[in-house]
């Protein structure tokens, strides 16, 4: 792992010195949920997806006409929602029967993606993305709601990540595809979609027997400028 990080750092530095650098801004919206390896505990009714916004900046460092290295820095949200069929304690909060618990965790991310620029004859450039992303959990919240005729919020509680022994470091794999259109000299607009598969287990969910992690998808738009 150390050798890989050193090699990636050397590659990024050399590319920045010899290539034209592009910087960009990306805003995205998607869904996040838990993934589980085997079976869920009988106390769970279901797990659901939550809204997962993102915002970030990135650089494009072309290594060739086909390959571009794309490091970045992003804010991302992950989490899940769970319907309860019996009362349970979650993160120190007693949740009643029939409540829905919605947990969200905010992360500062550092993706390092490799962009494959697909051949094209027009001004719109299709591309594919793949690579790792390393993040750090900044904060978490637990929101509970109940349903009568409509959903209404019961409470919102800040989650003490240290108290629950939450694994703040998050490592995931990202894959996606997009379209990039030149709109001026050195400027471009893009639209892309991503899927992320978490490799780390953030915490031991009381409602789930086996190890869990996060998964999610995200659709983003943005603009980039050549320096």
Q: State the Cα–Cα distance between residues 180 and 22, nearest whole angstrom.
A: 13
3-state DSSP assignment of residue 185 = coil
pLDDT in tens, 102-127: 889 999 999 999 999 998 887 899 99
pLDDT in tens, 123-172: 899 999 999 999 999 999 888 777 554 455 667 788 888 877 788 999 99
Q: How many CA atoms lie within 13 A of 74 on its CB side?
A: 30
Between CA 109 and CA 111 the distance in angstroms is: 6
| More confident site: 92 or 26 | 26
Across the chain, what does the average pLDDT equal?
80
Contact predicate 71/59, CB 8 Å = yes
Q: What is the pLDDT of residue 158?
A: 83
Sign of CA dihedral 87, 152, 100, 150: positive
- The C-alpha angle 8, 222, 114, rounded to 5 degrees, equals 20
Return the minimum-mean-pLDDT range out of 3-12, 20-29, 49-58: 3-12
For 28-59, how does the pLDDT look when each residue is reduced to its tens digit (9 = 90+)? 999 998 776 554 443 334 678 889 999 999 99
Residue 179: the pLDDT is 96
CB 217 within 8 A of CB 30: yes
In this structure, the chain runs to a length of 227
- The CATH number of the domain covering residues in 34-226: 2.40.160
Q: How far apart are CA 128 and CA 156, in angstroms?
A: 39
Average pLDDT over residues 167-183: 94
Is 153 or 213 the better-scoring residue by pLDDT?
Answer: 213
Of the candidates 76, 69, 78, which has an alpha carbon nearest to the alpha carbon of residue 112?
Answer: 69
Which of 136, 122, 26 lies closest to 71 in space, CA to CA? 26
> Is 104 strand, coil or helix?
strand
């Amino acid at each position: 792992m150390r050798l890989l990080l050193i090699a990636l750092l050397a590659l990024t530095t050399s590319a920045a010195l010899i290539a034209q650098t592009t910087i960009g801004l990306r805003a995205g919206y998607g869904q996040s949920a838990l993934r589980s390896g085997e079976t869920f505990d009988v106390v769970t009714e279901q797990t659901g997806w939550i809204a997962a916004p993102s915002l970030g900046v990135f650089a494009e460092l072309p290594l060739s006409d086909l390959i571009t290295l794309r490091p970045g820095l992003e804010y991302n949200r992950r989490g899940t929602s769970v319907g309860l069929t019996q009362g349970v304690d979650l993160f120190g909060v007693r949740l009643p029967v029939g409540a829905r618990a919605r947990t969200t965790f905010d992360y500062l991310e550092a993706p390092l993606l490799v962009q494959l620029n697909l051949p094209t004859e027009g001004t719109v450039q299709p591309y594919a993305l793949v690579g790792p992303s390393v993040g750090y959990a900044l904060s978490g919240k637990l929101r509970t709601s109940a349903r009568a005729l409509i959903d209404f919020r019961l409470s919102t509680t800040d989650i003490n990540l240290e108290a629950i022994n939450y694994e703040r470091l998050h490592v995931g794999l990202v894959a996606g595809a997009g379209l990039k259109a030149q709109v001026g000299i050195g400027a471009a607009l893009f639209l892309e979609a991503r899927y992320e598969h978490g490799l780390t287990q953030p915490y031991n969910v009381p409602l789930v027997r086996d190890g869990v992690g996060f998964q999610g998808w995200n659709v983003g738009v943005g603009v980039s400028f050549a320096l």
